[in-house]
Amino acid sequence: MGSNEDVMHDFVRKELKRFFSTVDGWQMKPAAGTGQSEAYVINRRILGRSEGAYIVASFEPKVSPGVISALETMAGSMPVGGVTRPRKIILVPQGADVSGVPRGVEVLKMKKFGFEGNELVWLKRYNQVAEKKGSAEAA
């Protein structure tokens, strides 16, 4: 039986595949030794050049210094073959506070998760519950 972390890991991989499709040549591998369970290195070779990025996913309401530190550690210790300036990316739920993210770090927003207040919600499920609740109240 899987744990919640396994399920979240699957959701993160699906979100990343939405931005970095294997059909477009992207390869993704988990980054070990970062202190973050959801850290990845991605790369691809296209039209004679290499592209790559370091990605850390966060499910926190505010991106913490630890997430940024993990991203910087990856960038300093895990070269991406053939890429001179890999991108640095943090994947966050919709509504997360990204005000502390430094310049040069991209932020991608998840499609399936977001914050309502300080509560992390699965948006698809949340929308379904809201629809059912609204139709029950109308009846």
Q: pLDDT for 92-129, tens place per residue?
A: 999 999 999 999 999 999 998 899 888 888 887 655 54
CA dist., res. 132 & res. 67, Å (int) = 37
Averaged confidence pLDDT in the chain: 84
pLDDT 10s digits, 16-31: 999 999 999 999 998 8
Nearest Cα neighbor of 87 from 39, 51, 53 is 53
The residue type of 72 is E
The answer on pLDDT for 139 being more than 90 is no
Give me the pLDDT at residue 34, please: 67
The SS3 of residue 38 is coil
Q: For residues 27-42, give the mean pLDDT.
A: 83
Name the band, by pLDDT with cuts 50, 70 and 90, for residue 130: low
CA dist., res. 139 & res. 136, Å (int) = 5
Going through 15-139 in order, the beta strands assigned E by DSSP cover 27-30, 39-46, 49-57, 87-94, 105-116, 119-122
pTM of the prediction?
0.82
**Among the ranges given (31-40, 63-72, 75-84), the one the predictor scored with the smallest mean pLDDT:** 31-40
The answer on pLDDT for 33 being more than 60 is yes
The answer on pLDDT for 81 being more than 80 is yes
Nearest Cα neighbor of 127 from 104, 100, 101, 94 is 94
Give me the pLDDT at residue 2, please: 47
Domain residue spans in the chain?
A: 4-138
Give me the pLDDT at residue 79, please: 85
